[in-house]
Structure 1
């Protein structure tokens, strides 16, 4: 009964979304306040109904209701409770319902906290948001209904994909969806502004918190996915340029550019058309990611579905919304005349360069991701575009971005002087060169990647801290320290986010350049040396888990004759799914990880063993955490919640077109 109510609530939410799409938009066009007022309660009702529907599906998973087809295909009575719950979104239909829940949550938040928005703009934003909802309600109800019943309920289920039965994957999809769907709000604001034919500082102030929240969630979601790939898949890496990895990375790059360009709109009322275009493209890349994951057109270990018909439906959504928004953009671009004028050397120009580098980087990832599909469709050739292409094509733009970032952040608005902006950064440059030289001296016979990554990472980190310090003025240290604590939170958030990027740049380069690897067949009791450690295979035993059988090895690591780590890598078999997984044994350290993997038994005796020493591995995700904390601190800045006063008054005083 609860399942049927959940299905009915989903259908009712679809009807409410249609009303919210049509009535407020007509009201805004005609100036009918009662019609515009429909948007806010409709957004709230939508969220409540979808929330109930999601809760009903969750209840079916928790209670192992195998009469529901989705539960039968993705759960099992022996599965731990955590993975029964995460099984709700560990599949195509359930994850799509989570997408809708988050979409309606953002719409409801815009209704609840958008009281300072002009009435017509708020109505149009919520109407566009509802239109996106209508498309996805239609998709889930027509092609991906999560509430289908089985005529003859089985006694047990087929279990969830074993790769998804992991803590990292429990939280990775929700955070990623919060980022993907959060960009729908930026899209809705952009389309609403195009309909009104007006973009100003107030609009930029309103759109920035939504974009920042989406960027924050995307950062956390991507980091969680990378962390999961590192310790769960057992291949020893953290990023493989997989199509689905790229699908989350492209909107992150565009959202980063959008955040910076919106600042220029707010401060100088310039880059209006470009900012609107970025808002459209950011959500467009989110929809593209949804298409890649669910259509099966590109092979990926992350894919949810392999159904061309569903892919065509999502492709139609992508074409209608992005194509429609771009058409509206082309029709209204003349109305988006920029008022602010700035010199070739200025903070604005630095942000333009930042935007160019980020956008071109996203385009490179886009081409590399979809080129195999293009080659197969139009040239009949089967191609594989892997890490070598992305490393060679993407890295130069990130190097350029790291070089210009500290200088651009120090330039004055409207008209700047490079020499004046660079003068305070000399200590950062000296420190970066010194540490890069030290790295070069310590490494022997290796590539320049490590020293270059050290140089760039330290340059960005130290530059962000110096930028923060220069904002305290020129008084004594005591006065400057006091002012440091009173700086706006957005300044602290900016410094932390840039520093987090620097940490990740350094850690990625250091791990790639300096990791050490050993692959061998080892017998019980064997010892071998790697990177200053002695590794011993102590034992291999069979272990029974809650819903798996594991071959567990005990491996000891010694340094200078002293035991420093005792780890237990596993090779698991999930009998219900009939699928093996590799659980790496990792001894985490501040400066390095010991990464140990047990493989299959060999015909001649012994076990396949892979061992890595990974320097600064945890700094990669530490940098992402610092970036996310910076975004959270910026989001808490009061100015993010207060509209630009004068611009707001102007917008409210001008009748909508």
Structure 2
């Protein structure tokens, strides 16, 4: 009965989404306030029934209801309860339900947390969100129903969840990533509402900017969690491989980063209005493209969920409808947007525009590298592989330029900045950065690495320029702590996010340059030396987990002859499906990780072992945390809410005379 309730709740959610996409929109176009006021109730109903459906599927997993096809294919009675719950989104159908739950949650948040929005605009935004929900609910009900039954003879036992997904990473990574992915639907909805209403001024960006920053922060965290998960779970020691599905999440992040900066220019100076609208459309379009790549079966990846061409065709048609309709509306409306404001070549607007262009260029290069093999295969040109060398050729220099322009972008003024002002603010950061970049490789490694020096230069350039700008802003304050209190949360968010870019740059580059890796054969009693560390295999023992058997190596680790600790990597065999998995042993640290993974068993009790010394790898994810926190600080800035309320009050007479309910 519980699965039937969940299925029926999905049908009711579809009915609410249909009403949400039509009734409030009709009210906004006709000026009928009664119809517009239904948007909040309809959004609440949509979320409620999607949540009921999600709870029903969770109950089916916890109760081992293997009559449900999805549960039978992705769970097992031996699994711990917490993995049964996370298995809800461990496959295609359940992850899609999680996607729709996130979408309805964002819709509910707009309905109840945007009281300053003009009634007409809120109705239009929620109508667009309802339209997006229609597409995904239809997709679920027609091609990917998570409540399909295996009757009249259900299996006695489930097939088990993919062992790769039986990990803490699955519990946190998909929900956080989807919060970012789906959150960009809000920016898209605001942009489409602006196009529908014809109000393409800076007002919509003031209302949409906090939502966009929130989505960007979640997507940043989600990508970092995925990188961290791959690092310790897959056993090869890497944190990014330019996998097509990894790229699918990185593409909207790149354009979303451009979007939040373009929104700042549109809000502050009334510039880039058409460009900001276009970025909002393409950010969400790339989120939908990622959904198509992951769920269509065109990719083979450890991250991919589905292998069904019918599903791929449905998503592709929905993608074409959303993007095609949005661009058509944009083509009809955007030409009426005019801007007369001017700025100099050294103004902040110039640097932000340049970084926007670079970020979009990076996105295009990654997109081409991701799609070209698929296009070549479809056209019969043969199987073509595009790997890390291609992506690095474009990404590294273009991202270097982005970092280079960040410092003057922070230090320059709006509208007009002289070269003398820039020199005055940036000569000290430049001197410190050049000196630090030149000296660091000589002090750190045995061999001088110019790549490491360049990375340190870029990181110091970003951080010291931010400090210089902070010092400049405090120059008239009698007491520095008084001046600090006057700075806005959005300013601190910008500083923290830029510092996060610097920290991640250090982590990526120094880890790439200085990583030490040894792939060796080890028998009990044998050792391997790398850097200052010695690893001795003491024994290999058989251990049992809740749903697996494992060979566990006991490895003694010493540094310069002094015993430190023991590491215990495992090679697991899962009982339900017989799958073999590597469970790495990690000793994490701020400046280095020790990483040991078991390979295959060899003759005479020996094992293949992979031993890594990975310097600064934690800085990659630490920088992402800084970036996400920076986005959160910007959202918390009350200035946005004051400006939004002021904008709503000024627009009230032309938007039906009522701002809030």
Q: Let me know the Cα RMSD of the aligned residues.
A: 1.4
**Which position in structure 1 is the counterpart of 2:3?**
3
Secondary structure, counterpart of 1:88 in structure 2? helix
Identify the residue that residue 457 of structure 1 maps to in structure 2. Answer: 459
| 2:337 match | 336
Distance in 2, Cα, partners of 1:217 & 1:614: 27
- 1:113 aligned partner: 113
Distance 2:319 2:424 in 1: 47
What is the distance in 1 between the residues matched to 2:107 and 2:7? 21
1:446 Cα shift?
Answer: 5.8
> Are residues 1:531 and 2:531 paired?
yes
Worse overlay, 643-652 or 451-460:
643-652
Aligned residue for 1:405? 406
- Aligned counterpart, 1:388: 389
- 1:436 is matched with which residue? 437
2-structure distance, mates of 1:382, 1:397:
28
1:376 & 1:473 partners in 2: Cα distance?
Answer: 61
C-alpha deviation, 1:445, in angstroms: 4.1
Offset at 1:370? 0.4
The normalised TM-score by structure 1 is 0.97
Of 147-156 and 458-467, deviating more is 458-467
Deviates more, 1:18-27 or 1:462-471: 462-471
Show the counterpart of 1:172: 173
Aligned to 1:185: 186
Q: Which residue of the partner structure matches residue 200 of structure 2?
A: 199
1:470-528, Cα deviation, whole Å (9 max, x unpaired) = 3223345xx12321133111111110000001000011000000111111111111122
Deviations 1:295-322 (A, max 9, x none): 1112211000111110110111110001
Q: CA deviation at 1:463?
A: 2.0
Unpaired segments ≥5 residues, structure 2: 657-661
User: Relative to 1, partners in 2 of residues 1:418 and 1:521: Cα closer, same or farther, differing over 3 Å?
Assistant: same
SS state at 1:521 partner: strand
Distance in 1, matches of 2:113 and 2:218, equals 19
Alignment pair present for 1:137 and 2:137: yes
Which residue does 2:209 correspond to in 1? 208
SS at match of 1:642: helix
CA distance, structure 2, for counterparts of residue 379 and residue 448 of structure 1: 43
Deviations 1:60-83 (A, max 9, x none): 111111111111110011101110
Q: How far is the alpha carbon of 1:168 from its aligned partner? A: 1.2
Partner residue, 1:317:
318
Aligned residues: 654
Task: Give the structure 2 partner of residue 365 of structure 1.
Answer: 366
Deviates more, 1:569-578 or 1:310-319: 569-578
Q: Report the CA distance between 1:650 and its aligned residue.
A: 4.2
**Other structure's SS at 1:582 match:** strand
The farther-off stretch of 35-44 and 645-654 is: 645-654
Tell me by how many angstroms 1:565 deviates: 3.2
- Residue 265 of structure 2 corresponds to 264
Could you tell me how far apart the structure 1 residues matched to 2:450 and 2:371 are?
Answer: 31
Separation in 2 of the partners of 1:422 and 1:536? 56
Task: Summarize the alignment of residues 524-563 of structure 1 with structure 2, pairs less than 5 Å apart.
Answer: 524-563=524-563
SS in 2 for 1:540: strand
Q: Tell me what 2:157 maps to.
A: 156
| CA drift at 1:378 | 2.3
Q: How much has 1:235 moved relative to structure 2?
A: 0.3
Quick one: structure 1 residues 454 and 565, their matched pair in 2 at CA, closer, same or farther if it must change by over 3 Å? Answer: farther
Q: Structure 1's 465 and 580: CA in aligned 2 closer, same or farther, altered over 3 A?
A: farther
2:79 is the counterpart of 1:79: yes
Write the mapping of 1:242-641 to structure 2, written as runs, cut at 5 A: 242-442=243-443, 443-445=445-447, 447-476=449-478, 479-603=479-603, 605-641=605-641
Per the normalisation by structure 2, the TM-score is 0.97
Closer, same or farther: CA 644–53 of 1 in aligned 2, 3 Å = closer
- Give distance in 2, aligned partners of 1:112 and 1:655: 19
Residue by residue over 1:559-615, the C-alpha shift from the partner in whole angstroms, topping out at 9 and shown as x without a partner, is 121122321111111121221111111111121111111111213552111111111
> Could you tell me how far 1:646 is from its partner in structure 2?
5.5
Which string of whole-angstrom CA distances, capped at 9 and with x for unpartnered residues, describes residues 120-140 of structure 1? 111111101100001111100
Q: What displacement does 1:38 show?
A: 1.2
For residue 55 of structure 1, what is the aligned residue in structure 2? 55
* 1:203, distance to aligned residue in structure 2 (A): 1.2
CA contact (8 A) 2:116 2:645 kept: no
SS state at 1:414 partner: coil
Q: Greater CA deviation, 327-336 or 442-451? A: 442-451
Query: Quick one: distance in 2 between partners of 1:542 and 1:645?
Result: 65
Change (3 A) 1:64 1:605: closer
The 2-side partners of 1:640 and 1:120 are apart by 20
CA contact (8 A) 2:224 2:624 kept: yes
Deviation of the 1:243 alpha carbon = 0.5
Q: 1:78-129 CA distances to partner (integer Å, 9 max, x unpaired)?
A: 1011100000000000011111111111111111012111111111111011
> Which segments of 5 or more consecutive residues in structure 1 lack a partner in the other structure?
none
- Distance in 2 between the 1:275 and 1:626 partners? 25
- The CA distance in 2 between the partners of 1:315 and 1:519, in whole Å, is 43
The whole-number CA distance in structure 1 between the counterparts of 2:529 and 2:427 is 43
